[in-house]
Amino acid sequence: MKKRNISQKEKLFCYMFVIYGNAREAAARAGYKRSPERTGARLLSDRYVLKEISRLKNALSETGATAGLNRLAYGSVNDAVKLLREDAINSSDIDALDLYNIAEIKKPKEGCLEIKFFDRLKALEKLYLINEAKQADERDSFYRALESSVSLPGAEEQA
């Protein structure tokens, strides 16, 4: 059977699915405007799409926490700003907004909208600590491998 190439839009769907873990949201973000829930389900039944998702997951190999911290640290706040402009969005478009970086939304009596975002610096700090821990673990495993591969002088005489 001949291997088919997946389209750029399908690749974008795969990437979005790896990030969000939701077929409907991934399809909507990849640009499938008409019935994203059905399109997402259809794409997840395609073996070439599943293969690409698997490849991306292996390439990224991030834990859910690390992926979430990356979204907080580097994610866009453009969709949250759209909430402030009442004329820029209607209620049917709200499901397509990426509001992941929002910690809290308030609407006080004055009628204005208050949006509180998660702290990007704290997310970057946590990512740094995770990266440092990974590097320390890699160094430790490297040294353990060196130690196990090198016999100590005099160890042969004692055996």
Q: What CATH code is carried by the domain that includes residue 1?
A: 1.10.10
CA 20 vs. chain centroid, Å, equals 6
Q: Does some domain include residue 124?
A: no
Q: Which two tokens stand for residue 159?
A: 């055996």
Q: Residue 114 carries which side chain, given as an amino acid letter?
A: E
- Helix (H) / strand (E) containing 103: strand 102-106
Q: What is the pLDDT of residues 89-110, one digit of tens each?
A: 777 777 778 888 899 988 888 7
Q: Does some domain include residue 49?
A: yes
Structurally, the chain folds into a number of domains equal to: 1
Determine the Cα–Cα distance for residues 154 and 159; give it in Å rounded to an integer: 9
Q: Does some domain include residue 109?
A: no
Q: What is the pLDDT of residues 34-82, one digit of tens each?
A: 899 999 999 999 999 999 998 888 776 656 778 888 888 888 888 888 8
Nearest-5° angle of CA 79, CA 83, CA 89? Answer: 90
State the residue range of the domain holding 51: 1-61
Q: Does some domain include residue 131?
A: no
Q: What is the pTM assigned to this prediction?
A: 0.49
Q: What is the pLDDT of residues 131-152, one digit of tens each?
A: 787 777 777 777 777 777 775 5
Can you tell me whether residue 62 is helix, strand or coil? coil
Q: Does some domain include residue 159?
A: no
Determine the Cα–Cα distance for residues 126 and 71; give it in Å rounded to an integer: 12
Cβ neighbours for 103, distance < 8 A, ≥ 6 positions apart: 116, 117, 118
Q: Does some domain include residue 112?
A: no
Q: Does some domain include residue 113?
A: no
Q: Is 57 left (phi over 0), alpha (psi -120 to 50) or beta?
A: alpha
Determine the Cα–Cα distance for residues 27 and 36; give it in Å rounded to an integer: 5
Q: Does some domain include residue 134?
A: no
